[in-house]
Each structure stands twice: as structure tokens, then as C-alpha cells.
Amino acid sequence: MNFYQYSQLTFNDVFQFLNAGWVTLSLTLLSIFLGTVLGTALGLIRCSKNRVVSALPLLLIEPLRNSPLVAQLFLIYFGLPTIGLIMLDAFSAAVLAISLNTAAFFAVLVHNSVISIPQTQWEAGYALGHGRLSVFCHIILQQSLRLLIPQAITLYITQLQCTSLVSLISLIDLTKLGQNLSNRTLQPFLIWGIVFVIYFALSYPFSRLSKYLEKRFAFDY
């Protein structure tokens, strides 16, 4: 087998794409799940009436939203081991970084969608004799979900694309595979074209869904 043959794209590379695609997909699903759970908690704390309590999550949210994900990823992957904290492998570090990042953005979405429900809805609930929790669960929650869901899907798509950054910490996801193959085959247009198509196929349906839901859920008071 000469070099020229080796450098060609072969059938075996399909499995490489499947592997790398699975890394991207599992990373995305895991981190958006964890991010959603943590983000919902932070967002609900943000909605607290106590000013001090509602400001607390900002300590975590603001630095995460205002700094690049790459820096956060590197801080966790390269930084944490040197200060004697846990040493994570690339995949766990990526999951941790991306889920924290998702959580920060998700918390803001949750907070915004809850406070954008008019105060009159709360007052109407109280007037009917409901407690704060009961008003929230029966009146506010459904309405804020209509606002939240389309935006959440958009956020998930963004995070799917952010997972491409994990190729910088030597995890073989779609982007890293694209880089490897394009170096091997010297056909960047073909390889990056395939990678483009895979990412596009993963995220385009959801971005259509988000647009559709946004129209479907739109309502006026």
C-alpha cells in the first residue's frame, strides 16, 4: 500500500465518522441535560423575592456568560489539575465546561421567561386564594414554558455547535476528525463539506422546530 492509496478516503472512514459523530452527539446530549437541570435551578433562585438570594446565582452566571467557552474549557482541563483539584479526562472536562456554560445561559432564559409574565397574572392568582407556589405551578409555569421552549431549543443548537471546541483539547469529535482527515487526504473541501453537512443535518431540523414553535406559541395579553 503506497502513500497515495493510504491518503484516499476509504469505506473504513465511515466508521470513524460514526464514532466521532457519537462523541459529538453524546457530549451535546449529556451537557445540555445537565445544563438544563442546573440552569433551571439557578434561574428559579434568580426569581426569588429576596434580593440577596436572587443575586447569588449571578456570581456563577455572569463570568460564564461573559467569557469565551474556550477559556473555560482550558481552565477546567489544564488549570484544575495544576492547582491540585480533580484531574478530569478530556470528555468529562468537556461535559463539565459545556454544561456549566449551558446552565448559565439557560438560567437567564428561565429568569427572563418567568419575569416577562405580567404581574397581573400573579395578582389574579392571589385574589383567587392561591399561595405563591400554587400560582407559580398552575398559572405562571405553563405561560413561561411557551416562551422558554423555543429559546431553549435555539440555545441547544448553539451548544451543539460549541461542542466543536472540544477538538482543541484533543477529543476526537467531528471537528477533530475533519482536521485529521483533511490533513491526511489533502482534500479539505470534500472533508469539511462532509463535516458541514453532518452538523447541518443535526441542527437544522431543530432550528426549524424552534421557529415553528415560536410562531405556534405566540400569544398576546
212 is a site residue for another protein (CB under 8 A): no
Minimum separation from the CB atom of position 7 to another protein (A): 15
79 is a site residue for another protein (CB under 8 A): yes
Question: What residue has cell string 400560582?
Answer: 135
- Which C-beta is closer to another protein: that of 139 or that of 168? 168
Site string (54-73) toward another protein, x via CB under 8 A: --------xx--xxxxxxx-
Three-state secondary structure readout of the chain: CCHHHHHCCCCHHHHHHHHHHHHHHHHHHHHHHHHHHHHHHHHHHHCCCCHHHHHCCHHHHHHHHCCCHHHHHHHHHHHHHHCCCCCCCHHHHHHHHHHHHHHHHHHHHHHHHHHCCCHHHHHHHHHCCCCHHHHHHHHHHHHHHHHHHHHHHHHHHHHHHHHHHHHHHCCCCHHHHHHHHHHHHCCHHHHHHHHHHHHHHHHHHHHHHHHHHHHHHCCCC
Minimum separation from the CB atom of position 164 to another protein (A): 4
Contacts with another protein by CB under 8 A: the residue count is: 41
CA dihedral for 151, 153, 159, 161, sign (positive or negative): negative
Minimum separation from the CB atom of position 104 to another protein (A): 12
Q: Give the chain's length.
A: 221
178 is a site residue for another protein (CB under 8 A): yes
Q: 53, 55, 75, 115: which one contacts another protein (CB under 8 A)? A: 75
- Which C-beta is closer to another protein: that of 130 or that of 184? 184
Minimum separation from the CB atom of position 105 to another protein (A): 11
89 is a site residue for another protein (CB under 8 A): no
Q: 40, 121, 161, 180: which one contacts another protein (CB under 8 A)? A: 161
Angstrom distance (rounded) from CA 95 to CA 79: 16
78 is a site residue for another protein (CB under 8 A): yes
Q: 88, 203, 209, 214: which one contacts another protein (CB under 8 A)? A: 203
Residues forming contacts to another protein in the complex (CB under 8 A) are 62-63, 66-72, 74-75, 78-80, 82-84, 157, 160-165, 167-168, 174-175, 178-179, 182, 188-189, 192, 195-196, 199-200, 203-204, 207
